[in-house]
Each structure stands twice: as structure tokens, then as C-alpha cells.
Amino acid sequence: MITCEGLVKIYKSDDLEVVALQGLNLQVREGEMMAIIGNSGSGKSTLLNILGGLDRPSAGSVTVGQWDLLKITDEQLVSYKRDTVGFIWQNNARNLLPYLSALENVEMPMMFSSKLDRAYAKQLLEWVGLKDRMHNKLHQLSGGEQQRVAIAISLSNRPKMLLADEPTGSVDTRTSDMIMEIFRRLNRELGITIVIVTHDLSLAGKVDRVVAIRDGLTSTEFIKRNPNLDDDFEQGGLAQGNVHEEYVVVDRVGRLQIPKTYLTALNITDKASMEFDGERIIISPPKSLEG
């Protein structure tokens, strides 16, 4: 569904250049539910904006389904955003129109893409647990309910891929669990590909795969050993050592992108010793030089 190779994004302002993505590699399978984690400034939101057609890449390659987002025209970009992508923001003000009811909010995007389908709009609100609240105005809904309206809106154009930017960042733990369960149900029943950007490690046990981004590069990857056995995964995700397997990314010229936390733990700064025993590559602190 998604393939990024050597993806670069540079923002320019006067004489200043900021490299938000510096050769990022990523693959997401169709029908996968995955999370991208990283600290502020790591490049995860930039990646999501590019996948959502809200920003243009500077170099490299990025394809979503049949679309090449580096070469796509402005006219094609409108079709891509209308037919392929659903987007959920952390800030509800970017998702919702406050003077409309929940149902009217879900119906609004339909008027721009095809035709109004009130039955489907109602079905979406039922899917997110708002059957009895669909005629309420936004000020009558809680923050969690508003976020669930936003999820329904993102599905109104029947997208093939759902992108969510910190969807649980402004709600409590109970509502966060409810939102993640809605995502999982939509992923299973509709087969929709879901990419969630977050800094919350506790979400790791609730998705199929987690990719960590540091300094605009994919640095580590965590995958469930058995994605069909959800009962094996507990709150905390990455803290369970027997649940996830970690990978180090190898770039195109053979360099290993090792997490800085590992290097710090071994007191490795600018140099390291490396040995090959026939089966494994062993990296350790530099040995003292004699003579």
C-alpha cells in the first residue's frame, strides 16, 4: 500500500533550510494497522502530511497504491485526497464544523466528492458508538465523542487508507482505548489500511507493527510475533520483551542505523569495535589501543 525509499523533505525559509526527512525508508502492507512513533521534531508528522497529500516530498520516492506522490499533478492530487485518503487530526477544530450536528458534519465531505448518502453517514456514526448522539451539535458532545465524529468523517469518502495524527493525544485513557478499539474493528471489518502517528508507546501493543522515527530516518521497527493473537499483548506494548522483535534498519550503502539509547548504554560515542563470528555481527565499545 505504501512504499517510501530514500524519502527527503526539506523546508526552505529565506536562507534557512530544515531537513525534516533525510532518506526515510518505509513499507506498509495493504490492510495493515501500524503506528509510527517518535519524539517532537522526528519527522513523523511530516511523513503523515506527505502520505496525506498535504505536503510534497523534496526527493526520493513515495508511492501509495497506484499513486506516485513525487510526480503527481495538482489535479491528480485532488482525486487522490478525495478517493484514497481519510485524515484524522488531534485538534478537533481541524476536523469539525461547530455549527453543524454530528450527522451534518459527516455528510459534508460527501457533498464535495460524490453524492449525499445519509444512510451511510448514519451507519458510520453507529460504528463509532454515536447512534443516539448524531443529531447533537458539537458543543453538546464531549471531547471523546467529537473525536469519534472525526473518525466517522474520515470514512465518509470510503478511503482505502486512514491516517491519524495523535488521535488519542487529547483524550483520557478510557476514551483512548475506545478509539483504538474502533480503529481495530474498522481495520478488520473493512480491510482499511490504518497508519497512526503517536508518541504514546502504550499504543504499540494495539497495532500490528510499530516503526520508530528518529531525526527524519526510520531507526527501529517492532513487529508482533503473532498478530492474530491479540490476547498476548498487554498495556505497555514495548515493555513486554517477549512480545516484539526489534530490527535495525540498514540503509542503501550498508550503514546500520542503531538507536542512540543502545549506543549510550554501551558508552559508544564516535567509534566502536565490530567482530564477525561467522553468524553474527557483534558491536561493542572500542578496545583500548596498546603501544
Domain ranges across the chain:
30-59+73-264, 265-291
pTM above 0.85, yes or no: no
Calpha distance 183→106 (Å, rounded):
17
Predicted pLDDT of residue 133: 93
Contact between residue 208 and residue 153 where contact means Cβ atoms under 8 Å apart: no
Predicted pLDDT of residue 213: 84
Tell me which of 3.40.50.720, 3.40.1190.10, 3.40.50.300, 2.40.30.20 is the CATH number of domain 30-59+73-264: 3.40.50.300
Task: For residue 275, list its beta bridge partners.
Answer: 282
Contact between residue 172 and residue 118 where contact means Cβ atoms under 8 Å apart: no
Consecutive sets of 10 residues in the chain, 291 residues long: mean pLDDT of each?
90 81 89 87 87 91 92 91 87 79 91 80 92 91 89 91 87 85 90 89 80 71 45 37 49 66 79 83 74 40
Calpha distance 146→17 (Å, rounded):
37
Among 69, 90, 82, 76, which Cα is nearest to 1's? Answer: 69
Calpha distance 163→193 (Å, rounded):
9
Among 192, 223, 218, 219, which Cα is nearest to 207's? Answer: 223
Predicted pLDDT of residue 240: 38
